[in-house]
Chain A
């Protein structure tokens, strides 16, 4: 895992200290709210519906047990005993007091964490594949370049006041779990025909009120030039991006209005100027960073040992149906024989998606240390992952998770939804999303039914900002305010994977009382029309389109 160097340490402590002074001056009245607001936002501190909210960044979602334990302490000491994992692989605390925030930032700094660039018109926390470094099909660990970008973008003077916020996602696998096509810049790490590592660069993707799929601007940039290339994009954006209209300021609008060809031309011209400059990352530096993400000390198992482990697992599964269910959905193959990836979905039936108590954080931290070579991940789907678990430890791990309400066997199933905080917390919301998510979860709680429905991604946002990625949901739900009433628009056919698509609106919105029935109608329609149980909801939708769903949903109207 990446460890802060001297520069990072000094910088993060200095920022915490600086903010302490700013808070003191705000409380004494030396700073007005107008003066203070940009400062607090630069430190991840928002004012929400009921209280301040502190958003802590987790670079590319990777954390150690020590860091998670510190988050547990912060949740307990300064909040109300819990935190909320977001779709940017960050964690939010919902109830901190202003005067406590400087101390929280100091406590975070002590474990190499901070809340910088989690807000404002700058380059935000770089997100990545939550299975990075563990999944067998990966070309190269995407966290290496995520970290290069993190270092380059941290407080970059030229890019601290962009026309709008700017989001990067990096994947190192052809199967996209990081929604790279929905980011301002998405990078797919791959190899060229000569076997060199580099990246395909996509630009102009995004969610929000104008969802767009990113377009490939260059199919392959060698890894030493990746930074120069993305800097060239940022420069072009900084120069031509619209600052006159907040809603047209994202790079996706620039790419859309000017066309990818013109943007490519400008970026290539800029790149030609800076290629080979100080932005070319020297191989030694790439190697130095890569060393942090080198494989941990995996134990080697011979064929006989592996067979014995598998036999034992089969017996356990036979004896314990709950364990078998968890194995079926929450455990993924690892690149190292004898190891597995374990998903901890923060989606207990009827619970708030992404919420985790401090006590549960402690449990996960202990299990991370005990079973996952001290590494865990937060995914953009609001789940946690233990990436390096010995198969032989899976039963013990599951038993511990299960006894703390963390063993829900639903990874990738219909109850594993993304749900943004919505109006229960968020000051920008137009409707609540959490209670709708809870009701859907309860409605589809039956595991056999979930298996029957198969892979399904429901994603829900409480306003047009789309933090809940509803555009990329197989079923997307957007809560809006219709003359003082919370109503819900449904979109179908969105996808955030390598086949990315934006969901299409099915028709008029549903009231809070109707929307869960509508979801059930959609699911039942799919079950009726699919060609076989192997045809997923997304495939079926792509085959038949909106009409059959529309007919069923609005037949009675």
Chain B
């Protein structure tokens, strides 16, 4: 299985967020917990899903990543854009931070 992280949208601001090891959510993909087995992925998704029930996030799903310089980088273009922001406005979104 390829490495995966778990992502969702923050309910209040709709921001893309990534699940950390400590079960909190980060806006920075570099802080995301990376899993490499199906069991670990299921467990991470379950943790994320609990926060859907608690109305913190919505649309929880797993994303394929590769590890580049020690940090996870989504392999799909769409997910990469969610980690950065609109490519026509590099002054906006996470890339601007």
Interface of A toward B, CB cutoff 8 Å: 26-29, 33, 47-52, 80, 94-95, 97-99, 352, 423-425, 429, 432, 434-435, 438, 481, 484-486
Q: Which segment of B18-26, B38-46, B80-88 sits at the interface?
A: B80-88
Judging by beta carbons under 8 Å apart, are A484 and B77 in contact? yes
Contact of B12 among A49, A95, A98 (CB under 8 A): A98
Task: State which residues 70-95 of B face A: CB under 8 Å.
Answer: 75-78, 81-82, 85-89, 92-93
B11 within 8 A of A: yes
Residues on the A chain within 8 Å of B76, using CB: 484
Judging by beta carbons under 8 Å apart, are B14 and A434 in contact? no
Known contacts A47-B59, A434-B87; A98 and B81 CB within 8 A of each other: no
Residues on the A chain within 8 Å of B59, using CB: 33, 47
Residue of A nearest to B96 (CB): A80
Residue of A nearest to B94 (CB): A50
Known contacts A29-B55, A434-B88; A51 and B13 CB within 8 A of each other: yes
B30 within 8 A of A: no
B35 within 8 A of A: no
3 tightest A-B contacts by CB? A424-B86, A52-B14, A29-B55
Contact of B14 among A98, A352, A429, A435 (CB under 8 A): A98
11 CB contacts below 8 A, A to B, read: A33-B58, A47-B59, A50-B82, A50-B93, A94-B86, A95-B92, A97-B12, A97-B13, A434-B86, A481-B77, A486-B77
Judging by beta carbons under 8 Å apart, are B77 and A27 in contact? no
Known contacts A52-B14, A423-B81; A27 and B55 CB within 8 A of each other: yes
Add 13 more A-B contacts to A47-B14, A97-B12 (CB < 8 A): A26-B11, A49-B78, A50-B14, A52-B14, A95-B92, A97-B13, A97-B14, A98-B12, A99-B12, A425-B86, A432-B87, A484-B76, A485-B77
Judging by beta carbons under 8 Å apart, are B55 and A26 in contact? yes
Task: State which residues 1-60 of B face A: CB under 8 Å.
Answer: 9, 11-16, 52, 54-55, 58-59
Judging by beta carbons under 8 Å apart, are B15 and A435 in contact? no
Q: How far is the CA of A438 from the CA of B90 in the complex (A)?
A: 14
Judging by beta carbons under 8 Å apart, are B13 and A424 in contact? no
Residues on the B chain within 8 Å of A352, using CB: 88-89
Residues on the A chain within 8 Å of B77, using CB: 423, 481, 484-486
Judging by beta carbons under 8 Å apart, are A435 and B54 in contact? no
Q: How far is the CA of A481 from the CA of B85 in the complex (A)?
A: 19
Residue of A nearest to B85 (CB): A50
Residue of A nearest to B58 (CB): A33
Residues on the A chain within 8 Å of B92, using CB: 80, 95
Contact of B75 among A432, A484, A486 (CB under 8 A): A484
Judging by beta carbons under 8 Å apart, are B13 and A98 in contact? yes
Q: How far is the CA of A217 from the CA of B56 in the complex (A)?
A: 51
Residues on the A chain within 8 Å of B81, using CB: 49-50, 423-424, 432
Q: How far is the CA of A43 from the CA of B3 in the complex (A)?
A: 38
Say how far B16's CB is from chain A's closest CB, in angstroms.
6
